[in-house]
Structure 1
C-alpha cells in the first residue's frame, strides 16, 4: 500500500458528515495529504424531488453547498489537516463524489455510514454503499451514526 496523497470526503453539513470530515482530516494530516472536501447540490426542487433519498440531505443551490464546505474546512483544519481544498458539484451525492474523486485522481474516499443500515438503504442503495461499488480508489466508511 502506498501513502495517500489525495483524500476526498463528502459533507452535507450534517453532524454525521462532519464526523467523517474530521476522520478524513486526521488521515490527511498523518500522510501530509491534500484533503478535498466535496459537497453536492441540486439546482432546483424538481431535480431534488426526483432523486431524493432517505440517507441524504437535500441541498438546494450552490450557496448552501458553499456554507457546508466552509464548515467542513473549519472542522478539517481543527482536526489537523493543513492542505485543504473544496469542491462543489451539481447532482446527487454519489454523482458529485464520484466526479470529484475521478477529477482529482484521489487515492481515498471517506464517507459516513448514514443510510447504509436503513431498510431503504438495503433495498435501494445508500450513498456509502453506492460509492464503494463505483469507486476505483480505496473507500473508508466511517461509523458516524448508530
Structure 2
C-alpha cells in the first residue's frame, strides 16, 4: 500500500526551522505531485496591546508574511512545483493550522518546524508544533534538522 499526499500544508513563521520545513515540504510535494500550501498565521494575541497605540503593526505583519511566503512560492515553483498556494490569516496559529485551515483546504499532511519564533510562549503554554501534533486530524511531520 502506498500512501500519497495530495494537499500539503507547511507552517512558516520566519524561523530557521520553518525554513527547513519548507525545503523538505518542497521535496515531499514533488514526490507526491501534491499541492503545497504555504501558511503563515499572524498571531493577533502577540501584538493586540501594542496595536492599540500603533495601528500599523497589523499592516507590517501582513506585509512581512506576504513577502516571506511570496519568496518561498517563487523558490518552490523554481524547483518545478506547479501547484503552490499562499495563505496568510489572522488568529491563533495553534488552532488555525491544525483545525481551521487544514479542514478548509482538505489537508492530508502538515509539516512544521519543531520550534518557532516565540520561545516565551513555548515555555509558558507549549509550542505550536506540539499543539498541531495533538490536534490535527491528518498526518503531521515535525522537522528538527536541516535538509541534508
Could you say whether these structures have the same fold, taking a TM-score greater than 0.5 normalized by the shorter chain as the test? yes
Q: Which has the larger radius of gyration?
A: 2
Higher relative contact order (CA closer than 8 Å, sequence separation 6+): 2
Deviation at 1:65, TM superposition (A): 1.4
Deviation at 1:13, TM superposition (A): 2.1
Q: TM-score, normalised by structure 2?
A: 0.76
Instruction: Tell me which protein shows more helix as a share of its residues.
Output: 2
CA distance in structure 2 between the aligned counterparts of 1:9 and 1:81, rounded to whole angstroms: 14
Q: Which moved more, 1:88-97 or 1:26-35?
A: 88-97
The runs of 5 or more residues in structure 1 that have no matched partner are 50-58
Per-residue CA deviation, residues 122-142 of structure 1 (Å, 9 max, x unaligned), is: 662111110010100000001
CA distance in structure 1 between the aligned counterparts of 2:50 and 2:10, rounded to whole angstroms: 21
CA distance in structure 1 between the aligned counterparts of 2:69 and 2:23, rounded to whole angstroms: 13
Q: TM-score, normalised by structure 1?
A: 0.77
Per-residue CA deviation, residues 59-84 of structure 1 (Å, 9 max, x unaligned), is: 96322211121122133334553310
After the TM superposition, which residues 127-138 of structure 1 pair with which residues of structure 2 at under 5 Å, given as runs? 127-138=128-139
Q: Which moved more, 1:4-13 or 1:64-73?
A: 64-73
Q: Which moved more, 1:5-14 or 1:119-128?
A: 119-128
CA distance in structure 2 between the aligned counterparts of 1:47 and 1:71, rounded to whole angstroms: 30
CA distance in structure 2 between the aligned counterparts of 1:107 and 1:113, rounded to whole angstroms: 19
Call closer, same or farther: CA 1:11–1:120 in 2, change over 3 Å: closer
CA RMSD of aligned residues (A): 2.9
